Structure 1
Amino acid sequence: MTFQTEFEFTLPKGYVDEEGNLHQNGIMRLATAADEILPLKDPRVQSNPAYLAVILLSRVITKLGELQIINTKIIEDLFASDLAYLQDFYGRINENGTSRIQTACPKCGHQFELEEEPMGE
């Protein structure tokens, strides 16, 4: 059994670059302790704690469409729904070790996992 450290995702809306290209599919890796600790020293986070999410996501997203580099500017320019999606996705893979969602049948109580479908599909 191999340990999964990278997870594919599809943004609900997608990032539109300066040329008008849409980037929706990406890969996020598991966060390290350094990913969560080092941004706390950043002056942007110290003056605005909400900025932690921007720096954190720019560190753990390794691929987004055809983009060669993922930086804070790209994360800043995401639509709000895509940012919320990525924050939720980050929490699921780093807390549960999977991108799947644990749920239960409301009638019988049987518990199972399902793969979340991107919004709008």
Structure 2
Amino acid sequence: MSVICTEIEFILPLGYRDGDGNLHRNGVMRLATAGDEILPLKDHRVQSNPAYLIIIVLSRVIVRLGSLEMVSTKVVEELFAADFFHLQQLYNKINQVDTDDAGLPGEAQGALGKPGLLQFPTSFTQR
């Protein structure tokens, strides 16, 4: 019987500095569930700005960042662009998302023959 690894450790290139000045670079991201990708679509922030989807999804799948008690959407919003890009790439990699033909944020397409996985572009200036 094989064991499925559902959590991946990461180190942010720059790190998140909290309100007390503490730097948080080490974290853990878990594999996304269908709910992680579907439920945020009902959020008013995503409905008014589809690019916000990745913010909510990342806040759901990052289970630890340094000594923070939780990773909220506010924390993800305040990440440096390099760290945000790093987390998007990690998300796409561990969830086996094929980013070669990634669509706009929130566009549900099949990835590696897996219908329904969302593909998050790692650069919003690709198109």
Assess same fold via TM > 0.5. Answer: yes
Q: Distance in 2 between matches of 1:17 and 1:87?
A: 21
Q: How does 1:1-121 map to 2 (within 5 A)?
A: 1-95=2-96
SS at match of 1:95: coil
Q: Distance in 1 between matches of 2:30 and 2:71?
A: 13
Q: Distance in 2 between matches of 1:91 and 1:37?
A: 16
Percent of paired sites with the same residue:
61
Structure 1: state its 5+ residue gaps. 97-121
Between Structure 1 and Structure 2, how many residues are aligned?
A: 96
Structure 2: state its 5+ residue gaps. 98-127
Q: Distance in 2 between matches of 1:3 and 1:95?
A: 14
Cα RMSD, aligned residues only: 0.9
TM value normalised by structure 2? 0.74
Give 4+ residue runs of structure 1 displaced > 4 Å after superposition.
none
User: Which structure features the higher share of strand residues?
Assistant: 1
Q: Distance in 2 between matches of 1:82 and 1:49?
A: 20
One-letter identity of the residue aligned with 2:57: L
Specify which structure has the bigger relative contact order, considering alpha-carbon pairs within 8 angstroms and separated by 6 or more residues: 1
Deviations 1:62-108 (A, max 9, x none): 00000011110000000011001100000000007xxxxxxxxxxxx
